[in-house]
Chain A
Amino acid sequence: QAGLTQPPSVSTDLGQTATLTCTGNNNNVGHQGAVWLQQVQGHPPKLLSYRDNNRPSGISERFSASRSGNTASLTIAGLQPEDEGDYYCSAWDTSLSGWVFGGGTKLTVL
């Protein structure tokens, strides 16, 4: 199954804002939006947002998601050391009838 496209790595300074991108097509990201997940080394994925910018309870407002056409974005404001990790996007693909994932972006806080 074809996947979503994410940059392999992003590095941003402590306290600054990082923006991660995820590109799909009209059948997935462009249709129902994306889900964003954070995975810190040795831990399971953690849901950050779904359907573009819906945050589960307990997720900081520093994390905000958006979408423009077939590209979804996750913006992390006021970067903290604990924000380092791998970030994955995912979307339901209506043509494949399944979830597709991006390869993940490794975020480094400098």
Chain B
Amino acid sequence: EVQLMESGGGLVQPGGSLRLSCGGSGFTFDSHWMSWVRQAAGKGLEWVATIANDGSEKYYVDSVKGRFTISRDNGKRSLYLQMNSLRVEDTAVYYCSSANLGWGQGTLVTVSS
């Protein structure tokens, strides 16, 4: 069974940093491109970042370029999102996902003073 499990969310002040993690199991982790997608309360889904299966390609939505970094460690079957210079508008539930496998349960990031 495919499982994706996020962790690392929490409350952080504007300008602060947070690192999200996502562990994958039940599939060949290093064969799949992975993404982070977020959802603000009561809103739709917004793509954040995507990384190639071997980490050679990375793509970001314009609003997080220069602030967020996606990475992965295939040996640990883990996906990461380093978030710096956080803004109030980054507040959302963050999901890790694979386009043809599924989504995790999400982790809540709240940016507030």
Contact = CB atoms under 8 A, between A and B. Distances in A.
Given A1-B61, A44-B95, A45-B95, A100 B47 contact: yes
7 contacts: A45-B95, A45-B103, A46-B102, A46-B103, A98-B59, A102-B44, A104-B45
Interface of B: 2, 35, 37, 44-47, 50, 59-62, 93, 95, 97, 99-106
Contact of A54 (B2, B37, B100): B100
Contacts of B104: 44
B99 A35 contact: yes
A50 B61 contact: no
A101 B46 contact: yes
Given A1-B61, A98-B59, A99-B50, A88 B102 contact: no
Contacts of A47: 97, 100-103
Nearest to B58: A97
A44 B2 CA distance: 15
